[in-house]
Structure 1
Amino acid sequence: MGAAPRTDPAATRMAGLVAPVVEAAGYDLEELVVTPAGRRSVVRVVVDRDTGVTLDDVAEVSRAVSAALDDLDGEFGSAPYVLEVTSPGVDRPLTDPRHWQRNTGRLVTVAVGPTGSAEQVTARVLAADGDGVTLAVEAKGRPGARKRPPTRRQVPWHELGTGRVQVEFGRHEPDDDPGSDPDEARPEPADDDDGGGQ
């Protein structure tokens, strides 16, 4: 069993010092966790931004955070540390408005509705703004039955639970109109007549 992440005052103080460095580079600090690993610690810094995070971005943030931590050498103890800078994985829960905005177009599962009577739905995120999230809620149906088109639903923030992005394989680009029937717009296949004489 691995070591439990530290939530001690030193880790909290470190997050307070790292956050401005991450923000100055143009990113959001999503999480900072310090985990003891033998005689050293692993400092895991999770960053994100609206346009996503590339490997070059991770390297840029890693250099900036490493330099900032080197400037504070000794403030967090003499034990060596390993710095890990990463972006949030697909399993990261959607809890803040910016998480929802960054996942527009993605399929999610989320509890929606007033506390005590919320229902779990699968839906595509169409938009997120100051009022809440617009979802295209998938219709529940029997396996093998023809799938009904999704229903557009505006959910205010106070009625929105924690969302989880669903992994999709072979997904096509979403239609502009989530209520349209994809079979209606499908063109007829062209004839394969190549003029084929002998």
Structure 2
Amino acid sequence: MSTVVETVTDLVQPIMAQHQFDLVDVEFVKEGKSWYLRVYIDKPGGINIEECATVSDELSEKLDALDPDPIPQAYFLEVSSPGAERPLKKPEDFEKAVGEYIHVSLYQKIGASKVYEGTLLKLTDESLDLKVNLKGRIKTLTIPRAGIAQARLAIKF
């Protein structure tokens, strides 16, 4: 699986550079009986459907030209925006999110929970500081980066 992700990442990077888009994520997953190759792209101000279609067409051409085919099974190619709740995976994603409201899922509990939402206040190589509302009290939690299972931007309600 990871070889597919690596191959597609290598193929799509020049397309991203040409159009000045950001590659957010590439995933190759099986859902039910179908395989999906998903490429999430963005740019400052957001990405539109025509731009997604352009990347899809250009990437599809590159994939079709490869011999041997790096993806032997049938799959659906989806190129889209990561949405308002975009994942935070790369160090740059976290750096851009300082000051933003985020959702963090942890491998192990810190305090009473494995899930927190709050404003990302500070970021170091080892940890992040998150301002959270715990039962009406505002606290700052320091979360080790190695303990983060998943993180994404979140919408505050």
Task: Return the match for 2:118 from 111, 114, 123.
Answer: 123
For residue 150 of structure 2, give the secondary structure of its aligned residue in structure 1. Answer: coil
* Paired residue type of 2:110: A
- Answer 1 or 2: which has greater helix percent: 2
Counterpart AA for 1:151: K
Offset at residue 110 of structure 1 (A): 4.0
- Residue 100 of structure 1 aligns with an amino acid whose one-letter code is F
Equivalent runs, 1:23-172 vs 2, <5 Å: 23-25=16-18, 26-28=21-23, 30-33=25-28, 42-48=36-42, 51=44, 53-55=46-48, 56-72=50-66, 75-76=68-69, 82-89=76-83, 93-104=87-98, 105-111=100-106, 118-119=110-111, 120=113, 121-130=116-125, 132-138=127-133, 140-141=134-135, 147-148=136-137, 150-169=138-157
| 1:57 to 1:159, Cα distance in 2 relative to 1, 3 A | same
SS at match of 1:54: coil
Give 1:67 shift.
3.3
Partner of 1:167: helix, strand, or coil? coil
More strand by share: 2
User: Structure 2 vs 1, CA of residues 24 and 37 (structure 1 numbering), >3 Å: closer, same or farther?
Assistant: farther
Comparing both chains, which one has the higher relative contact order based on Cα–Cα distances under 8 Å and sequence gaps of 6 or more? 2
> Larger radius of gyration, structure 1 or 2?
1
Contact 1:126–1:133 (CA<8 Å) still a contact in 2? Answer: yes
CA offset at residue 63 of structure 1? Answer: 3.6
Q: Which blocks of at least 5 consecutive residues in structure 1 are unaligned?
A: 1-6, 142-146, 170-198
- The Cα RMSD (Å) is 4.0
Aligned CA distance change for structure 1 residues 52 and 106 (closer, same or farther; 3 Å): farther
Matches of 2:102 and 2:31, distance apart in 1: 36
Post-superposition shift, 1:123?
1.8
- What TM-score results when the alignment is normalised by the length of structure 2? 0.61
Count of paired positions: 149
Instruction: Identify unmatched segments of 5+ residues in structure 2.
Output: none
CA distance in 1, matches of 2:51, 2:68: 27
